[in-house]
Amino acid sequence: MNIQEYIKIVHNGNQLWFVDEVSHYTNQKRVLDVIEKKKYLDGKHAISNRVVENYNGKPYEQRKVVLQYAKQIVNLETTYLLKKPLTITGDESIVADIKKVYKKGKYDKFDFDVLNSLVKYGNAYEYVYVNEKGNICSKLIPSECAYPIYDDEIKMIAFVEYYTSLDADWYIVYYEDSVIKYSTVGDGEVKVVESHNNVSGLPIHYKSDNELDNAFGKSDLDDFINIIDAMEDLLSKFSDSFYKFHNPIPTIIGQQLKGEGLSPHIVGGGITLDDNADFKMVSNQINHQAFQVIYDTLKQELINIASIPAVSLNSTDVSNLSETSMQMLYQLADMKAGINEKYLREGLEQRNEKVVQLLETLGKSYDEDTIDSLDMVFHYSRPVDETNVIDNVVKLYQVGAISLESLLDIAPYITNTHQELERIKNDATKAGTETSNENVEDNESTGKEQE
């Protein structure tokens, strides 16, 4: 099914089909979920809905303790995989061109934003294009503005980007061969304001796994928001209990005597009790151990479900740990990073195909084997002993198991392998020239001595 058949079947051939598509219930429900996630990350949690109540005849503002664990978990998940930029590998002729594109297009930061959106909302959308300067770059389409259109086989056949600005609606419709921009600015009627040829195809849809929907991903926040809500509820209500339920109540047991005892003008205010009478302040007992057990259990489950290292939330002691023990602590984080890497790879491979296609339109040419050699290497941010890493790669290089380029890719202190290789070649050439000059001078001096 192509987009024309889709418009005819689903929208009865309506020329403004994209307006109806944006207004569809399923799309509105998905966009509303993204907006709710944004509000949650901004601090609008369920605990914020607690209302003012009446206590002792006066209005009482209940505690609303907000824990921004969700934002911290998202940042940890993103930086763990992409704190170190990914490495492009393959045939040197195509790798050099791809690296130039990535540098000019600032793709290291862009990839970070893509993964951040993917973790938060389960979906991310990228459109590759050539800007007015002739450079290849990408645009990240916000999830709340994205409306991909899929056919019955879950194949994207068109894409609509919708947003509001200047008190008007704006629609950008992406077809395979064209991009058309509509707007209601001015008179309120939907009309074409721009039209361009589309040389890179439809936007790329990054998505996570979703058991209930093959077309759209599922946010990681859905797995642990309820746990954070429970932690916030526990902290807030326990804080309230100090002010409401732990206030002591004066209690007298027995007969209180009046007009007897010391003068209050001498020792201050007080009470006088009869024989065998008692006075005390009664309050509820604080079961802090039960609170600690419940809170620690919730926090541990949050760590387990979010697959983040316990050390990142100061929940374990890391003193005197071996390299193997450190790897075990980060095992869940490595597994989660591997899953996120799979999601990213699916989209990055599409991006590289589009970039190669655009490079060919700009005059570059590559054979099929060169294109197939293109690959990516991710570097997880797990703490490692860099000394051992360097010793291991040097030993592999000495026995001829890896090349110099692979050694530089793995080395923890090298950030630009291509540039470092050029410097090594230049140093080798310079050293060879100096050695040749020394040999010539030695030969000349030897000849003079013989004469």
Whether residue 309 is contained in a domain is answered as: no
User: Do 278 and 352 belong together in one domain?
Assistant: no
Residue 162 belongs to a domain: yes
What are the tens digits of pLDDT across the range 156-176? 999 999 999 988 999 999 999
Q: Are 156 and 147 in contact (CB under 8 A)?
A: no
Q: Which of 46-50, 133-137, 250-254, 290-294 has the lowest mean pLDDT?
A: 250-254
Pick the range with the lowest mean pLDDT from 292-306, 346-360, 393-407, 429-443: 429-443
Average pLDDT over residues 6-25: 91
pLDDT at 226 over 80: yes
Query: What angle separates helix 92-104 from helix 331-361, to the nearest 10 degrees?
Result: 100
Q: Which of 218, 234, 260 is the last residue of a domain?
A: 218
295 in the Ramachandran plot: left (φ > 0), alpha (ψ -120 to 50) or beta? Answer: alpha
**Domain membership flag for residue 451:** no
Domain limit, last residue, from 240, 267, 282 = 282
CA distance 296 to 419: 49
Mark whether 264 and 349 lie in a shared domain. no
What value, to the nearest 5°, has the Cα angle with vertex 401 and ends 398 and 404?
65
Beta-bridge mates of residue 58:
55
Question: Could you tell me if residue 226 is inside a domain?
Answer: no
Residues 74 and 340: their CA atoms lie apart, in Å, by 12
Range of the domain at 267: 248-282
- Distance, in Å, from the CA atom of 338 to the CA atom of 344, rounded to the nearest integer, reads 10
Mean pLDDT score, 153-158? 92
C-beta separation of 185 from 166 below 8 A: yes
Cα–Cα distances in Å, from 104 out to 160, 262, 354, 416? 27, 89, 16, 15
Residue 248: CB partners within 8 Å, gap ≥ 6? 281, 282, 283
Backbone angles phi, psi at 49, to 5 degrees: -85, 0
Same-domain check for residues 208 and 163: yes
**Separation of alpha carbons 271 and 367, rounded Å:** 100
pTM here is 0.78
pLDDT (mean) for 297-324:
66
| Dihedral sign computed on CA atoms, order 105, 106, 109, 111 | positive
**Are both 36 and 131 inside the same structural domain?**
yes
Q: What integer pLDDT is reported at residue 258 of this predicted model?
A: 61
Mean pLDDT is lowest, of 238-252, 350-364, 402-416, for 238-252
Same domain? For 27 and 133 the reply is yes
Extract the tokens encoding 27. Answer: 């799309």
Q: Are residues 378 and 430 in the same domain?
A: yes
Same domain? For 408 and 365 the reply is yes
Closest CA to 108 of 117, 95, 99, 118: 99
Task: Provide the phi-psi class of 309: left if phi over 0, else alpha when psi is between -120 and 50, else beta.
Answer: beta
Q: Does residue 265 sit in the same domain as residue 353?
A: no
Distance CA(342)–CA(208), nearest Å, equals 9
pLDDT above 90: residue 328:
no
Question: In this structure, are 277 and 198 located in the same domain?
Answer: no
**Strand, coil or helix: what is 137?**
strand
What ranges make up the beta strands (E) of 38-145?
Answer: 53-55, 58-60, 84-89, 123-130, 136-141
The count of structural domains within the chain is 3
Per the structure block, which two tokens stand in for 392? 């291991």
User: What whole-number distance in Å separates Cα of residue 329 and Cα of residue 311?
Assistant: 8
pLDDT at 366: 87
Is residue 104 included in any domain, yes or no? no
Share of the chain above pLDDT 70, in %: 80
Please, are residues 132 and 122 in contact by the beta-carbon 8 Å criterion? Answer: no
Are 255 and 214 in the same domain?
A: no
Inter-residue contact 181 to 194 (CB < 8 Å) = yes
Residue 351 near residue 357, CB atoms below 8 Å: no
The beta strand positions in 223-273, using DSSP E, are 249-253, 256-257, 272-273
Residue 322 has pLDDT above 60, yes or no: no
Q: Does residue 146 contact residue 207 with C-beta atoms inside 8 Å? A: no
d(CA 89, CA 373): 8
Write the pLDDT tens digit of every residue in 342-368: 999 999 999 999 999 999 888 888 888
Query: Is pLDDT of 183 > 90?
Result: yes
pLDDT band for 392, please (50, 70, 90 cuts). confident
Mean pLDDT score across all residues of the chain: 82
Looking at the structure, tell me whether residues 36 and 155 fall in a common domain: yes
Structure tokens at 105: 């297009």
User: 130 and 20 in one domain?
Assistant: yes
Mean pLDDT across the stretch 98-119? 92
List the beta bridge partners of residue 273: 256
* 116 domain residue, yes or no: no
User: Is a pLDDT exceeding 60 seen at residue 439?
Assistant: no
Q: Confirm whether 419 is domain-assigned.
A: yes
For residue 255, give the nearest of 224, 276, 232 by alpha carbon: 276
Q: Quick one: pLDDT at residue 342?
A: 93
